[in-house]
Amino acid sequence: MINKILIAVDRSQNSQSVFSTAVSLAKTTGSDLMLLHVLSVKEEDHPLTPTYTYYPIVEEYNYETYQKEYAKYEQRGLEFLQNLTQEATAAGVKTEFTQLTGNPGRMICQLASNWSADLI
């Protein structure tokens, strides 16, 4: 029996499709839904991607700039999760979310274990 569904999301097109499927499945089975967003350097808008030209270790100004950009990056992730949570809740699915930092694969496995997810 499926009681808890964990879904890792990002801002990609594929993620929206997976999210919609998970909400539909959770609604059908009466499962709870956990949304996870992992802050990772592998995401396009992470402050350390090649589109940014500063290096936070080199000088204090660059570090401060990085800190500001990272705070914005974190906030965008939380807003993204809040919007998805509202959408799932409006569909009648009990939903919660979390945002973690690190290796996405490890974070997914760790949360799945800690939350006792039945399906990922």
User: In the sheet where 4-8 sits, what is the strand order?
Assistant: 4-8, 32-39, 95-101
Q: What pTM was estimated for this model as a whole?
A: 0.85
Q: What is the pLDDT of residue 101?
A: 93
Domain residues for 65? 4-115
In 3-94, DSSP assigns E strands to: 4-8, 32-39
Is 52 within a domain?
A: yes
Q: Domain holding 106: CATH number?
A: 3.40.50.620
Is 120 within a domain?
A: no
**How many domains does one find in the chain?**
1
**Whether pLDDT at 38 is above 60:** yes
Mean pLDDT of 93-119: 96
Is 32 within a domain?
A: yes
Q: What is the pLDDT of residue 48?
A: 67
Is 13 within a domain?
A: yes
Is 28 within a domain?
A: yes
Is 25 within a domain?
A: yes
pLDDT tens track for 40-98:
877 767 776 555 555 555 566 677 887 888 899 999 999 999 999 999 999 999 999 99
